[in-house]
Structure 1
Amino acid sequence: MSYLPLVGLPADTHESHGFLFHSIGDKYVRAVAEVALCTPVMIPSMIDALEIDSLLDHFDGIVMTGAVSNVHPPHYGEQPSAAHEPYDHARDATTLKLIERVLARAMPLFCICRGFQELNVVMGGTLETELQDVEGRIDHRAPKHEDVEVRYAPAHAINIRPGGQLEKILGKRETMVNSIHRQGIKRLAKGLAVEATAPDGIIEAVSVRDARSFAIGTQWHPEYKALNNPDSVKLFTAFGNAVRAYAKTRGAPARAIA
């Protein structure tokens, strides 16, 4: 029998046959369970029926997942257009508030892809859409291929900031990452520090300045087959260790998992 802390993951929403569904990709919950060694729990994107602070009282860490949808542009001061679609308004309403409250609690926070962009928006930054159409940018989209192994294969190198949080975790200043996004950070929020960049200058990783716990975001997807990727193992292990430390500090009751 072991005792595992709880990690919340917000859901994406989509409609099918007239019904709204909440869901999370298996790769996220599996990385939390198998690498971070925590218990993953879905947080439904239904802010109208949730009391965020009461909800967070039950968690020891949060993973903001990637998604097909993009953050709605009015949240960072721009007008929406077809280029920004698709959207998930229910997720926006929930996650932007959730990140704000998680940061206020100094709860461990790991933000991936859309979650990485959400973090920047919550802290006052902006986003740039359709990077592949911008002069000087590489194409950050996944290859158009049916094989998921091809879509999530390493796509380009990133340069890791010397002395930063990411270098401390990975123990190196360059690595290869996958690339599965159309948007990126345009104006970095003042409260964030750049941890890594792509060859074209796009920000690939950030950390929250003066954070009292793990508070890192990656534009790439370290959750994909995390157990098989040494960098992913280091990232999710560091997150899991921070989650356990947070649970101990706040005196969270042990949860028995047979």
Structure 2
Amino acid sequence: MSAEKHGRPLVGVVCDRFFVGEHDQHGAKHSYVRALMSGANVSPVLIPASLEIESVDDYLDGVNGLLFPGGASNVAAHRYGGEASRDALSDPDRDHVALNLIRGAAARGMPILAICRGFQEMNVAFGGTLHADIHASGHSEDHLEDLAEDLSTRYRYRHEVELTPAGMLSTLANAHRVRVNSLHRQGVAALAPRLVVEARAPDGLIEAYRLNGHDFALGVQWHPEVMTQHDALSRSIFEAFGASCRRYRHAAQPATNHHEG
């Protein structure tokens, strides 16, 4: 795998590892792939989740950005010193790959977009902690997914978030408040020192942050990937991510190739 220099930037999408019947599989939802292609104008490639991957450097060498999508499982409590929830799904293979990729990408200045589970991974990767269950921790907003609902209903706007003045998201949205489709059980307890708050829910829960001093390393608790066709901020997030991936690719090229626009 190599990052194509003259076509679209390549963006790695971290997979979940799960069973379908008796078959052990790796996969990511098409909504993320579609949003990357149509919103960010990049070419997605899937990165498997496996404890057998000892080094992520080959993957980082081959892509111009990384997307960490949502998933059914939660980040394992031992990763942030918390107490395990017996009814929570886990994916230790994804934890292993995702946390190492986030740290490696940040060290290289590579663009990162982290959504839902990815948002939680990003906080843990830099030393933050999580609430295993935000409702048990006293947060009032309804963030839980109802699997009995059809997808369009399930991913509807849930509540407003207040955007940090002069932050990345408030600049993209040209607004102080926006409505979001936030669905999750885990949430930020202690924010990692390197992260800067970009949005909060009405109950005070952090819903977005960025990595300080980075061109584009954004985590959002909601799901912009399903809203890019009709939500302006969702599309702007993917467009800004794609633009950062192109800048990263351009900066990584040898000086003799810098004639590309």
Same fold (TM over 0.5): yes
Equivalent position to 2:143, from 123, 140, 145: 140
- For 1:43, give the aligned amino acid: I
2:36 is aligned with 1:32: yes
Distance 1:109 1:12 in 2: 17
- For 1:7, give the aligned amino acid: V
Which residue in the other structure is 1:62 paired with? 66
- After TM superposition, give the deviation of residue 246 of structure 1 in Å: 0.5
2:231 is aligned with 1:232: no
- After TM superposition, give the deviation of residue 143 of structure 1 in Å: 4.0
Higher relative contact order (CA 8 A, sep 6+): 1
In the alignment of these two chains, the number of paired residues is: 251
Q: Per the alignment, do residues 49 and 120 of structure 1 end up closer, same or farther by CA in structure 2, a change over 3 Å counting?
A: closer
SS in 2 for 1:172: coil
Q: Per the alignment, do residues 247 and 137 of structure 1 end up closer, same or farther by CA in structure 2, a change over 3 Å counting?
A: same
2:155 is aligned with 1:159: no
Give unmatched runs, 5+ long, in structure 1.
Answer: none
Equivalent position to 1:6, from 10, 14, 21: 10
Distance 1:82 1:224 in 2: 30
Which residue in the other structure is 1:123 paired with? 126
SS in 2 for 1:204: strand
- For 2:97, give the aligned amino acid: T
Q: Per the alignment, do residues 241 and 136 of structure 1 end up closer, same or farther by CA in structure 2, a change over 3 Å counting?
A: closer
RMSD of aligned Cα (Å): 1.7
Q: Per the alignment, do residues 80 and 135 of structure 1 end up closer, same or farther by CA in structure 2, a change over 3 Å counting?
A: closer
- After TM superposition, give the deviation of residue 14 of structure 1 in Å: 0.5
Give unmatched runs, 5+ long, in structure 2.
Answer: 1-5
Which residue in the other structure is 1:107 paired with? 110
Runs ≥4 residues deviating over 6 A: none
- After TM superposition, give the deviation of residue 79 of structure 1 in Å: 2.7
SS in 2 for 1:223: helix
SS in 2 for 1:82: coil
| Alpha carbons 2:142, 2:158 under 8 Å: kept | no
Which residue in the other structure is 1:223 paired with? 225
Which residue in the other structure is 1:172 paired with? 175
| Alpha carbons 1:170, 1:235 under 8 Å: kept | no
SS in 1 for 2:135: helix
Q: Give the TM-score normalised by structure 2.
A: 0.91
Q: Per the alignment, do residues 91 and 136 of structure 1 end up closer, same or farther by CA in structure 2, a change over 3 Å counting?
A: closer
- After TM superposition, give the deviation of residue 134 of structure 1 in Å: 3.4
Deviation per CA, 1:188-245, whole angstroms, max 9, x where unpaired? Answer: 011100000000000000000111x201000001001422221111000000000001
- For 1:241, give the aligned amino acid: A
Of all paired residues, the percent bearing the same amino acid is 37
